[in-house]
Structure 1
Amino acid sequence: MRTFPKLSDPGSGSEPRAMPNPGLARRAVTVHEAGTVQHGDDWLVEEAPVELRYDGENFAVMMATPADLEDFAWGFSLSEGLVSDAGAIRGVAVRELLEGHVVDIDTGGTALVDAGPARLLPGRSGCGLCGSRRLEDVLRPMPPVPDGPMLGRDALGRALAALAQRQPLNGSTGAVHAAAWASPDGEILRVREDVGRHNALDKLLGALCREGVDLRGGFVLATSRASYEMVTKAARLGIGLLAAISAPTALAVELARAGNLTLAGFVRPGRYVVYSHPGRLQAQQGSR
């Protein structure tokens, strides 16, 4: 948990510190507290336009933290069903421009994107639906998630306890979501961060797919609510369990139940709530 203020003194005469992580920006601030005024610098998370192009054609502009953008391209393409599988992505090129970032995804013309105009709306960092133009794009049925391993009794608690130490962007800014991939016993294996919860999940999924990880062999823990988009993205890639530190929506629960996905929310030390398919989670000791 970040403690504010986390400042450096701009008048110290020292050279500015190197940026500790991509996606961070340093800005001058003034803190008013208990009748005193303190001047210094603070680290803020960056939020920038990211234009996604498939085979040279613009598809969408998303607001995202400009880090791990190649992972983002892979994850977004797969979780949105724009490519049939990871093998359809031949390459990803990221370019930084004055206005933002352009990500070119080469699919050899196989991307399942509309031939018409690009998405009418840019995707905001907190929005997983912005830019969809048809109702049928929103609620597309997912095939049932295959059965996977049962999680250890303390897996969610173990992953939750470890996650706070695996979020460098959030540790510096206090403004970033994370999505983590954990083993069935709760060991965190991968983490990706972004100012948007959907983007963090896409970055994580992209990293896992690029590495060829078996997505039936673990679970996702997200530092956000579990919206229907989060459930859909996880289910589309065959992930059997999605856990979130906040609440799910009613639609997310219905989709998880229909798709054989285990959905847990309000993950806290020693406590969580299971909304669908509890069979993948061992009962807590002393349960009744």
Structure 2
Amino acid sequence: MVCRIEQADQQPEANAPAPAPQSVAYREYGSPQEAHAPLAAETALAITYNGLSQAVMMVSPGNLEDFIRGFSITNDIVTGLDEIYDIRLSHFPQACQADVQISSRAFWALKDHRRQLAGTSGCGLCGVEALEQALPQLQVLEPTPVPPVEHLQGLRERIEQAQLMARSSGALHAALYFDEQGEVRLCQEDIGRHNALDKLIGALLHAGIDARLGFTVVTSRCSLELIHKAVRARLGTLVSLSAPTALTVQWANKHHLNLIHVPHRSPPRIYSPV
């Protein structure tokens, strides 16, 4: 797969990590003194597949190749990285255009799905296709052992050490991969909780890491969409710092995804498998 970066006057390194937080001036109430605070950066990212516009979203401007790989897998646009032929990034002030070339099979499936969605009527989550998109049919995973409890000890402190961007600017979610020894191997940060997990999944796939070993941690609320992404990416264990919903637990159990919650002041709780 080839990645090209366009716009010579604004050329970040290919798949570069996010730039340093931007220093922004502010003034406290009752004080004439100006101070500065580092704030997280964000940019608009537009993604097209074979010239067809698919999504525009706000993301943190780093690790965009990993994000596109993960987004393509977890949104069921491609079934594997071998169906992504090319990623071309064009950078502009406050925006980025990603032109992605995918296989003919994946592109025809994408177009067919869009035609079906266009045939629904009404508003909100309406029509059979829209409901199928919210509650999709997913492949059940092969069961995998839960990580030993020792690997979850001091988890919040280790995450804080790994989140370099959030330590300086705040306002960022993280998704992390811990290996079989319980050590942090990868940490991806983004303003969007879905984006952070997509970036991590893309990085795992690109590195050829078997994500069924070890465990993945999300610092955000564990919503049903994150379960969808985890199952599609064939993760073995998903650990959340926030309590899951009942429906999230049902889907994790149904698809044999290990789901663990690490509360602030209580021992880790295994919700799946029961």
Q: Fold match, TM over 0.5? A: yes
Answer whether contact 1:256 1:263 (CA < 8 A) is retained. Answer: yes
Superposition pairs for residues 83-94 of structure 1, below 5 Å?
Answer: 83-94=78-89
Answer whether contact 2:212 2:237 (CA < 8 A) is retained. Answer: no
In structure 2, what residue type is equivalent to 1:252? T
Q: Which of 241, 259, 262 matches 2:237?
A: 241
The secondary structure found in structure 2 opposite 1:154 is helix
In structure 2, what residue type is equivalent to 1:45? A
* Pair 1:52-2:55 in alignment: no
1:216 deviation in Å? 1.2
Superposition pairs for residues 263-278 of structure 1, below 5 Å?
Answer: 263-268=259-264, 271-277=267-273
Gaps of 5+ in 1: 1-19, 121-128, 279-288
1:31 deviation in Å? 2.4
Taking a change above 3 Å as real, the CA distance of residues 21 and 105 of structure 1, as seen in their structure-2 partners, is closer
* Pair 1:216-2:212 in alignment: yes
Gaps of 5+ in 2: 1-16, 119-124
Q: Which of 191, 196, 211 matches 2:192?
A: 196
Normalized per residue, the structure richer in helix is 2
* Pair 1:73-2:68 in alignment: yes
Taking a change above 3 Å as real, the CA distance of residues 109 and 26 of structure 1, as seen in their structure-2 partners, is farther
Q: Which of 42, 57, 69 matches 1:62?
A: 57
Matched residues, number? 245
In structure 2, what residue type is equivalent to 1:241? T
> What corresponds to 2:102 in structure 1?
107
* Pair 1:28-2:25 in alignment: yes
Q: Which of 163, 176, 179 matches 1:180?
A: 176
d(CA) in 1 for partners of 2:155, 2:55: 33
In structure 1, what residue type is equivalent to 2:103? G
1:38 deviation in Å? 4.1
In structure 1, what residue type is equivalent to 2:157? A
Backbone CA RMSD of aligned residues: 2.3
> What corresponds to 1:225 in structure 2?
221
**Which has the larger displacement, 85-94 or 173-182?**
85-94
The secondary structure found in structure 2 opposite 1:102 is strand
In structure 2, what residue type is equivalent to 1:203? K
1:98 deviation in Å? 3.2
1:260 deviation in Å? 0.6
Answer whether contact 2:218 2:241 (CA < 8 A) is retained. Answer: yes
TM-score, normalisation: structure 1: 0.78
1:178 deviation in Å? 0.3
In structure 2, what residue type is equivalent to 1:235? V
* Pair 1:153-2:149 in alignment: yes
- The percent identity for this pair of structures is 33
